[in-house]
Structure 1
Amino acid sequence: MANGVLRVKWENGPASALCNDTDLATFIVYNETKEQFVTFQNVTERAANEVSLQMPKNFANDAVHCYMYYINAFSNVVSSSLYVGEAVVV
């Protein structure tokens, strides 16, 4: 994380009925200090394998927890959420 931007990278499993390049990724970031959630809904396709998320300015120097999930292109199948990890916003 640099300049308040959280960069998330991932690797995809093999394509299947439940894993398509066109699935959209959503990220939920929780700031425990501020007791505040920020959601980045459908920000990129699964095939991108990475995304940069601009954190709110008031999150500076706070630790945040990041979760993600996918929704398919038809908006009728949603994956389980996954804990991505913790980072400090700088």
Structure 2
Amino acid sequence: MGILKSGIMGPIRNKTGPSVGRMHRSINVLTGAYRASTKPPTTSQLDAQGKFGLLSGFLTNIDDLIKVGFKQFSKGKDPVNVASAYNYDHAFLVDETGFTLNYPELMYSRGYILPAESPAMLALPGQIEFNWLPQRQSMYCQYTDMATFLVYNPAKGYSVKKALATDRYAQGYMLDLREDFVGDTVHCYMSFASKDGKLQGNSTYLGQLKCV
């Protein structure tokens, strides 16, 4: 791949002979034209495609949380791509049907703000009640830290999330669910961020429960 700092006779776009020019992050880029392979994909290639599809389906569903949660580790890259690379190595389990997501290991946020102390959940009609214990204040643990909650429904393929819903001092929050979640098993997460949102914390997997 060639990067054209000044361009050849100016910016290049679209196909020119065997080359294709385009703009990528405000840079003129020249690449070879794509050639479709006539070889059938290998088992490892099919596995990789399946894994990528599973993980991408989960992450793109919560891209608004990831863009904030992985921003400080992105360094100009797309936070969703950074989150995908970070999660990929431990994101999957293998069973008799193939690959499934390893939900307890997935993270939508990373950082130094401390997680909740002994978080717990309770399924109520149309809601999930989150609770946690009080913590001693420190540089990365303030009463004013704001909590974010995520409930992912794999059966429906979408989630309910609430960013910066309440502060750490509240020690609890009631998250409203969608009506069509009733009877489904969901996976629950939460994280804290500093009040000004500049610092994030590691997201924590709280477990799964059945919605009522």
**TM-score, normalized by the shorter chain, greater than 0.5:** yes
- Summarize deviations over 1:20-76 as a string: whole Å, max 9, x none: 000100001100111112211111100011111010001010011110011111111
- The equivalent of 1:63 in structure 2 is 185
- For 2:146, the aligned partner's letter is L
User: Structure 1: which 5+ runs fail to align?
Assistant: none
Mapped partners of 2:134, 2:152: distance in 1: 24
Q: Alpha carbon RMSD of aligned pairs, Å?
A: 0.9
Say if 1:23 and 1:14 are closer, same or farther in 2 by CA, change over 3 A: same
Helix, strand or coil at the partner of 2:191: strand
Mapped partners of 1:86, 1:16: distance in 2: 30
Helix, strand or coil at the partner of 1:19: coil
Instruction: Considering Cα pairs closer than 8 Å and 6+ residues apart, tell me whether 1 or 2 has the greater RCO.
Output: 1
Q: Which has the higher helix share?
A: 2
1:24 to 126, 140, 146: 146
How far apart are 1:12 and its partner, in Å? 3.6
Mapped partners of 2:147, 2:134: distance in 1: 12
- The equivalent of 1:84 in structure 2 is 206
1:49 to 171, 183, 198: 171
User: Structure 2: which 5+ runs fail to align?
Assistant: 1-122
How far apart are 1:85 and its partner, in Å? 1.3
Choose 1 or 2 for highest CA Rg: 2
Helix, strand or coil at the partner of 2:201: coil
Mapped partners of 1:34, 1:52: distance in 2: 21
Helix, strand or coil at the partner of 1:37: strand
TM-score by length of 2: 0.41
Q: Which has the higher strand share?
A: 1
Corresponding residue pairs, total: 90
TM-score by length of 1: 0.94
